Amino acid sequence: MSDALKLTDVSKTFPVGRKLFGAPKGQVRAVHPLTLSVRQGETLGIVGESGCGKSTLARMLVGLLEPTTGRIEIDGEALDNADPAVFGKRIQYVFQDPISSLNPRKTIRQVMEAPLKHLYRMGADERRKRIAEIFASVNLREEFLDRYPHEFSGGQAQRIGIARALAAKAKILILDEPVSALDVSVQAQVLNLLADLKREFDLTYLFISHDLAVVEAVSDRIAVLYFGAVVELGPAEEIFANPRHPYTRLLAQSAPVVGRPLTAPEAKGTELPDPLNPPPGCAFAARCPRATDRCRKQVPKLDSGHASSVACFHPLDEG
Amino acid sequence: MRAFFILLARNRLALAGGVVLALVVTLALVTPLLPLANPDVTDTSNRFRPIFSEGALLGTDHLGRDLLSRLLWGTRLSLAVGFAAAIFAASIGAAIGIIAGFYGGRTDNVIMRGVDMLMAFPYILLALAIVAALGPGLFNALIAVSAVNVPFFARNIRGITVGIAHKEFVDAARLAGLSNTRIILSEILPNVVPVIVIAMSTTIGWMILETAGLSFLGLGSQPPQADLGSMLGEARSALITNPHTSVVPGVMILVIVMSINLLGDGVRDALDPRLKSGALTRPMAATLVDRQGPVPEPTGKGLLEVQGLKTEFHVKDRIYRAVGGVDLHVEKGECLGIIGESGSGKSVTALSLMGLVASPPGVITAGAAHYDGEDLIGAPYPRLRDMRGRNVAYIFQDPLATLHPLYRVGDQLIEAIRAHRPISRAEGRAKAVELLEAVRIPNPEQRVSDYPHEMSGGMRQRIGIAMALANDPDIIIADEPTTALDVTVQAQVLTILDDLRRSRGLAIVFITHDFGVVAQLCDRVAVMYAGRIVEEGTTAEILDFPRHPYTARLMACVPELGGGKRRLEAIPGLPPVVDRLPPGCAFAERCLKARPDCRKGEIPLEPLGRRRIRCLYPEDESREVAQ
Amino acid sequence: MTGYILKRLLSAIPVLLGITVIVFLIMALIPGDPATAILGSYATPENVEKLNRDLGLDKTLVQQYFIWLGNMAQGDFGTSFALNRPVLDEVLERFNATLVLAGTAFVLCSLLGILAGVISAANQYGWADRAITFVVLLGISIPSFFLGMMMILFFAVNLRLFPVSGMWPIYGARDLSALISHLTMPALALAVVATGVIARLSRSAMLEVLRQDFIRTARAKGVHERGVIWRHALKAAMVSIIPVLGIQAGFVLSGAVYIEIVFQWPGVGRMLVDAILKRDILLVQGGVVFVAACYVLFNIMVDVAQSLLDPRIKT
């Protein structure tokens, strides 16, 4: 299978304390150089806690942010400037907050027509036909088209968001926490819809979430992000069942599961390192029970020896 | 648009302002057609004639000119200049503000520095300087007044634009291939226009005052032409001898500006969505209680016993039945979980107990909550306040929003104690440190003087817990205390809560939407749907064999870690809106087992084995639905 | 804290320079020849040329600006031709009087405005709220100069409670009681509009804050409603009230121009209007720059107060 999306050393650095003229005071690295590929037709899950850089990564992938370094390839073609209009036909984005991703002063029809008009220059008749098709595939009634966003529930609005992403005919969808604003009963509906659409249109998904169980349920492979870097990447069925990175294990043990007694898996502080003053070695070392001097001095690279790759000097499967 | 006018007309003051303004504007428009004396013809033999003199309804001024005629012509001029200045300032200011706010970065920086520079002047100095340069005259006064107002509009609109430019729908428009210009025109502008209109309607009155002011100083309209301000200025020398020449133009300015302000406020209220939804009403110290019918007697069950609790939200002519008759009880030292989706009424139930539901719009319409035999719902405010925090304490969801941002966490802890008993500062501090230790905050001696924003989310929530512990309450009500936290932090906070409850014998009412959390923490669990409890029993029993179809289906649609990639058992449809509840079972619409009698009449919460359940056809006990 | 004040003072330097540039540019817009304006139409060409040289008007605009700036830095604001007196002396003397008037009005409007706003918000839709809302509406709708005139008519002429105008009695002692009786009416007239604006803003800021989660927390702790309003809500509301106080100080200074004219108060505003009508350019320039500079310094004080209140502001 070919790679639908390929990232090579993509990173993002934000300046801090910018002045009117002259150099900024400091820099924060939100995403460390990251190399990753998503295969055609795959769902790659990206999981991490707040501040791990997953949203920055997502915004770079659709051209809303320009990467500081690195290369983004879609179907073998490099796209590393930041022009969402160029990205738009190939890769689309489904937002976390379904209501605020719709302009409150536009009807759903206007929202749906925008990509058809501006990306494909379709005529009015063609647009109407296409919108009808898309709405049918996301199970939305056409009468919704002339209503305004505030008239919809979160679940319906998220379907509209998905429909808009489909309208651009992109083959890759970035799903940024698409169900975390929804109630559990609606969440399952949307997840199932996403699975159906994927099969029907042969889509590739990048599914970003903080909810381990949700990511596990929808993904083929999962990448675990910590402090802007991938610490572990492996098959979904393996990664939480047999974690290799201590942080992955910590995540898996922290998730509340029915039938497992309450244990605080970590006694040390839970603070993330200071982004303005990052540690020289592994970012997780301060919280890690297995950390050695080497971890505090050197940054571990993502190895790729096993079914899953891990960025750790002392992975859990090595005693 | 129609809705806007309906809202506006409903506001009686705004309507009155609108009518008066319409009258004045009409008069000003038809002035040239009216049979009036020439406003500029002087007749010194007839100077200072009083009001209601023959041939001069409002008298004459110091040159014998007809005051009524001058008043109408002056009003015409003042209105025209005021409106022109407002439109001029609003459009230029808005354009600057939108550009600065949308493009951000250096563009924004340079523009806003310039704006700040202009705002560094007391506005009249700038206006005076402009008039000094251009020379006195009405048109120059107009330029001066609009120029000094541009920075105010620019700054205001920029703030709004920055907020909108970072909204997700703007990103979505970019991905739909819209250019920046198109985004400004089709995404930003429509959302900014209401704000521009609001800003304009609330400043037009002020602009009329300002141009009148410059004319009053002799820097605006030049004789013989007169606007209201210069009429007042000319009349000032005869203030004491012939006050009517001052009163007539002065009152006219007052009437115009006041009607514009009334109308402007109405426009603002009608356009501002926050005001529309009544969001700017002040919640009272305790929830309104308006119980119809008898108050249930306590049966002595548990430490806290809730019976038939009903809480409604009255918004305009709609009634949302958020809590529709809830019965539950908590034993001493027990942890009761209340689980449900958003809108199920779980939080409102919890907040109702100590009268913390925002009111208006909240009203408790029925039921009782007996704490140790005493009804909390009916308790007078002083008694309720005395029990808040001392007997029943709360932990809320978002630890950043629930702590006061401007007080040190230690002071907030001390205040919690002082609300119930006097203690010295030193004693309070010692107690605060002790509380921080109890929730395992490292370096409590130092952290006690931190501000909330200096702490991480997990630390802040520990402060929230410490605050709830401050007066050793018997019951803690925790309203989704870990929902806003990351999983690793959540695990720690839950452990702390669990340890505290066991070591102090606390009863906890834990509100959540997460079955995993309930399973780990709670002894008993109540499942809520559409404002009512549908199933209640011990956690082990309910989670192992849910018997209400809703509980069973809800558990099935939550993915569980370790299950691998799979299709989820979704529940079709949406929860009902609580202002239009169907008769019978609220879940019937989405239930696969629903029969006709499910949709009829009241279905009671009835005992079934050791649990209680609100269902006519519960799931079979032998069947393990969870699998 | 000292570091923060120092930083703010340093950042005021470009603003002050900007102010001088703006004032200078506006004044450079004046059409025609200032010398002719000063000397009147009877001036001889020789006199005009000499005056032009004295005023430095034969140099380029940029040179003129820097000469003017350099002189001001040394305390030389030039000489008013109409008064034949150094501009700085005149401005300082007049500004004193304005400070007494505007300062009193500012303190009045801040205290009354916040008080009215809090009472109004705490009793939303009650009779006190309605009464305050109405008075406030009246206050922001009435022109201050008209209000001042009506006060003179009623309190000075009819009731003879206060002197009609001026800052000091023409005969008699210049003591505090004389000042207070002269100050009362103009200060009140000046304070009314700003009181209205501050009261409105305080009311809506309080209503906004009273809906916040931390207010519910305070109530859940069992804090008295008095404490909730005055300690919790007002303190948080002050974060949005204080910047408005800074802006309103500018409005009070501006309004002082009208009030000084109506009450014959010997302040800087009246001086400026006279100077404009007489085309006394140097006096206008100097007066505007001086008052604007004082206002900039005042706003720094406002920022410092804000940073003392709100620990989230980086100092």
Same domain? For A63 and A178 the reply is yes
Contact B178 A191 (CB under 8 A): no
pTM attached to this predicted model: 0.88
Contact C222 B396 (CB under 8 A): no
Domain final residue, candidates B232, B254, B271? B271
pLDDT classification of B626: cutoffs 50, 70, 90: very low
Same domain? For A54 and A10 the reply is yes
Question: In this predicted model, what pLDDT tens digit does every residue of B217-264 receive, in sequence order?
Answer: 988 888 888 899 999 999 888 888 888 899 999 999 999 999 999 998
Point out the residue among B116, B124, B406 whose CB comes nearest to the CB of C235.
B406
Contact C204 B280 (CB under 8 A): yes
Measured CA to CA, the distance from residue C115 to residue C138 in angstroms comes to 17
Contact C225 B285 (CB under 8 A): yes
The two structure tokens encoding residue B125: 């100095």
Nearest CA to C22 out of B91, B93, B125 is that of: B125
Same domain? For A44 and A166 the reply is yes
Mean pLDDT of A223-242: 92
Measured CA to CA, the distance from residue B28 to residue B143 in angstroms comes to 22
Chain mean pLDDT for chain A: 88
Point out the residue among B130, B285, B390 whose CB comes nearest to the CB of C219.
B285
**Does the residue B618 lie in any domain?**
no
Same domain? For A77 and A152 the reply is yes
Q: How far is CA A53 from CA A29, A38, A226, A230, in A?
A: 9, 18, 8, 10
Same domain? For A97 and A215 the reply is yes
Measured CA to CA, the distance from residue C266 to residue C236 in angstroms comes to 40
Mean pLDDT of B514-539: 94
A96 touches chain B (CB under 8 A): yes
**Looking at this predicted complex, what is its ipTM?**
0.90
Chain C nearest C-alpha distance from B176 (Å): 36
On chain C, the residues whose CB falls within 8 A of the CB of B286 are 219
Point out the residue among B173, B175, B342 whose CB comes nearest to the CB of A92.
B175
Contact B570 A189 (CB under 8 A): yes
The two structure tokens encoding residue B594: 């629903």
Instruction: Identify the residue among C135, C152, C217 best suited for mutation to test binding to B, counting B beta carbons within 10 A and taking the highest.
Output: C217
Give chains near A: 3+ CB pairs under 8 A. B
**Does the residue A152 lie in any domain?**
yes
Domain final residue, candidates B271, B294, B329? B271
Same domain? For A175 and A298 the reply is no
**Does the residue A241 lie in any domain?**
no
State which amino acid sits at residue C270.
Answer: R
Contact C273 B128 (CB under 8 A): yes
Contact B456 A251 (CB under 8 A): no
Chain C nearest C-alpha distance from B206 (Å): 8
Q: What is the pLDDT of residue A21?
A: 55
Q: What is the pLDDT of residue B625?
A: 43
The two structure tokens encoding residue A304: 């790729």
Contact A256 B491 (CB under 8 A): yes
Instruction: Please compute, for residue C306, the number of CA atoms within 13 A of its CA located in the half-sphere on the CB side.
Output: 19
Chain B nearest C-alpha distance from A48 (Å): 9
Measured CA to CA, the distance from residue C7 to residue B19 in angstroms comes to 53
Question: In this predicted model, what pLDDT tens digit does every residue of B268-285 receive, in sequence order?
Answer: 888 876 655 555 678 889
Contact B171 A191 (CB under 8 A): no
On chain A, the residues whose CB falls within 8 A of the CB of B177 are 84-85, 88, 114-115, 118-119
Chain A nearest C-alpha distance from B212 (Å): 38
Higher pLDDT: C224 or A19? It is: C224
Q: How far is CA B54 from CA B59, B235, B246, in A?
A: 8, 21, 20
Higher pLDDT: B471 or B135? It is: B471
* DSSP H stretches of helix in C143-267: 144-151, 176-210, 213-221, 225-227, 234-262
Which residue is listed with tokens 């023959």?
Answer: B54
Rg (CA), chain A: 21
Question: In this predicted model, what pLDDT tens digit does every residue of B313-352 receive, in sequence order?
Answer: 988 788 999 999 999 999 999 999 999 998 899 999 999 9
* Residue in chain C lying closest to B396 (CA): C217
**Does the residue B315 lie in any domain?**
no
Total of domains in chain A: 2
3-state DSSP assignment of residue B472: coil
Give chains near C: 3+ CB pairs under 8 A. B
DSSP secondary structure string for all residues of C80-142:
ETTTTEEHHHHHHHHHHHHHHHHHHHHHHHHHHHHHHHHHHHHTTTSHHHHHHHHHHHHHHHS
Instruction: Identify the residue among B106, B107, B175, B499 best suited for mutation to test binding to A, counting A beta carbons within 10 A and taking the highest.
Output: B175
Q: What is the pLDDT of residue B246?
A: 92
Contact B390 C213 (CB under 8 A): no
**Does the residue A103 lie in any domain?**
yes
Same domain? For A89 and A198 the reply is yes
**Does the residue A21 lie in any domain?**
no
Q: Is the pLDDT of residue A267 over 70?
A: no
**Does the residue A227 lie in any domain?**
no
Measured CA to CA, the distance from residue B126 to residue A8 in angstroms comes to 56
Domain span holding position A150: 3-14+29-219
Q: What is the DSSP letter of B50?
A: P
Q: Is the pLDDT of residue B566 over 70?
A: yes
Same domain? For A40 and A177 the reply is yes
Lowest-confidence region among B28-42, B301-315, C27-41: C27-41
Q: How far is CA A95 from CA A119, A166, B87, B170, B554, in A?
A: 19, 13, 38, 11, 25
* Residue in chain B lying closest to A50 (CA): B486
Nearest CA to B347 out of B307, B394, B406 is that of: B394
On chain B, the residues whose CB falls within 8 A of the CB of A191 are 568, 570
Neighbours of C3 (CB within 10 A): 8
Question: In this predicted model, what pLDDT tens digit does every residue of B54-113 receive, in sequence order?
Answer: 777 788 888 888 889 999 999 999 999 999 999 999 999 999 999 999 998 889 989 988
Domain span holding position B137: 2-34+57-271
Same domain? For A127 and A215 the reply is yes
Q: What is the pLDDT of residue A271?
A: 67
Which residue is listed with tokens 């107009």?
Answer: B142
Mean pLDDT of A273-291: 86
Chain A nearest C-alpha distance from B188 (Å): 9
Q: What is the pLDDT of residue B336?
A: 96
Q: What is the pLDDT of residue B627?
A: 38
Chain B nearest C-alpha distance from A190 (Å): 9
Q: Is the pLDDT of residue A201 over 90?
A: yes
* Residue in chain B lying closest to A110 (CA): B186
Q: Is the pLDDT of residue A94 over 90?
A: yes
CA–chain centroid gap for B157, Å, is 20
Strands B318-330 and A221-226: unpaired
Measured CA to CA, the distance from residue C303 to residue C315 in angstroms comes to 11
On chain B, the residues whose CB falls within 8 A of the CB of C273 are 128, 217-219
Q: What is the pLDDT of residue C305?
A: 92
**Does the residue A125 lie in any domain?**
yes
Question: In this predicted model, what pLDDT tens digit does every residue of B384-439 receive, in sequence order?
Answer: 999 999 999 999 988 889 999 999 999 999 999 999 999 999 999 999 999 999 99
Per-residue b or e along A218-240, where b marks 16 or more CB atoms closer than 10 Å to that residue's CB: bbbbbbbbbbbbbbbbbebbbbb
Mean pLDDT of A120-137: 92
Chain C nearest C-alpha distance from B551 (Å): 31
**Does the residue A231 lie in any domain?**
no
Mean pLDDT by 10 residues, chain C (315 residues): 86 89 84 65 73 73 87 86 88 94 96 96 90 91 94 91 86 85 94 93 92 94 94 95 93 93 93 87 89 92 92 78
Neighbours of B469 (CB within 10 A): 21
Same domain? For A309 and A210 the reply is no
* Residue in chain B lying closest to C23 (CA): B129
Which residue is listed with tokens 């302040």?
Answer: C267
On chain A, the residues whose CB falls within 8 A of the CB of B486 are 49-50, 210, 270
User: Which residues sit opposite B369 in a β-bridge?
Assistant: B306
Point out the residue among C122, C214, C224 whose CB comes nearest to the CB of B385.
C224
Instruction: Identify the residue among A262, A268, A272 best suited for mutation to test binding to B, counting B beta carbons within 10 A and taking the highest.
Output: A262
**Does the residue A224 lie in any domain?**
no
Contact A93 B175 (CB under 8 A): yes
What CATH code is carried by the domain that includes residue A90? 3.40.50.300
Interface of A with B in 183-202 (CB under 8 A): 183-189, 191-192, 195
3-state DSSP assignment of residue B508: strand
Q: What is the DSSP letter of B295?
A: P
On chain A, the residues whose CB falls within 8 A of the CB of B571 are 185, 188-189
Lowest-confidence region among B287-291, B297-301, B354-358, B532-536: B297-301
Chain A nearest C-alpha distance from B220 (Å): 39
3-state DSSP assignment of residue A202: coil
Total of domains in chain B: 2
Mean pLDDT of B454-460: 90
SS3 letters for B153-180? HHHHHHHHHHHHHCCHHHHHHHHCCCCH
Q: What percent of chain A has pLDDT over 70?
A: 93
Which residue is listed with tokens 């209105």?
Answer: B79
Q: What is the pLDDT of residue B310?
A: 95
Domain final residue, candidates B271, B301, B335? B271
On chain C, the residues whose CB falls within 8 A of the CB of B404 are 214, 217-218, 232, 235-236
* Cis preceding-peptide flag for B360 (omega within 30 of 0): yes
Instruction: Identify the residue among B487, B501, B521 best suited for mutation to test binding to A, counting A beta carbons within 10 A and taking the highest.
Output: B487
Nearest CA to B618 out of B196, C50, B245, B603 is that of: B603
Instruction: List all residues 6 or more positions away from C139 whose beta carbon is below 8 Å from its beta carbon.
Output: C192, C193, C195, C196
Same domain? For A59 and A112 the reply is yes
Mean pLDDT of A223-248: 92
Q: What percent of chain B has pLDDT over 90?
A: 61
A81 touches chain B (CB under 8 A): no
* Residue in chain B lying closest to C281 (CA): B132
Same domain? For A133 and A251 the reply is no
On chain B, the residues whose CB falls within 8 A of the CB of C137 are 258, 261-262
Give chains near B: 3+ CB pairs under 8 A. A, C
* Residue in chain A lying closest to B484 (CA): A50
